[in-house]
Chains A and B, each alone.
Chain A
Amino acid sequence: MRTQITEMFGLRVYTDRAVFIGNVDDVVLDVDQKKVDALAVGELNPEIGEVKGYTGLQIPFRVVKSVGDIVIVRHIPGLFKLPAKDD
């Protein structure tokens, strides 16, 4: 599936545990390997962990599972917390 990179800007990024991370701000290319290296994600969801002081996250492309209307990445428990439930 071939996509123009500008179509990825602004896509919402979720983990496969349905946790919202943020929106795609930019895409990082590895020029030597000729590959997509990472997605730069901004407007982070404050509930996924310590995002204070950060304007964005770079999500390595190897954890990206699927890109369509939204982006789905593998859930990494140490990195993304499930939102705490209020009982």
Chain B
Amino acid sequence: MSKTFCRSLARKKVMSNDGMLIGTIKNIIVDLNTGQVVDLLVKPDETFKTDGYRTDGDKMLVPFEAVKDIKDYVVVDRYLLKR
């Protein structure tokens, strides 16, 4: 599945490829000039420490490049998370 509706992504959980729960998707940031999806805005889970990651207020910015696949969960690459 490569195409997905944004509304179906709302409240989906974000997980890293080593099995850590990161949080829930709150919003998606796109560049409307190029159509590129830039970032996911993720509300971090209480168990996840956001030190060293890019944050915006209480939300965490996950580069869309780190996204491996989206099915029941959004799976992101831990190593690509920090940018």
Contacts and interface: CB of A to CB of B under 8 A. Distances in A.
Specify the main secondary structure of chain B where it touches its partner: strand
Contact of A28 (B4, B36, B70): B4
B11 to A, nearest CB: 12
A5 B28 contact: yes
Contacts, number: 70
Interface residues of B, number: 26
Contacts of A52: none
A61 B35 contact: yes
Interface residues of A, number: 22
Contact of A26 (B5, B32, B34, B35): B5
Interface of A: 1-6, 26-37, 40, 61-62, 67
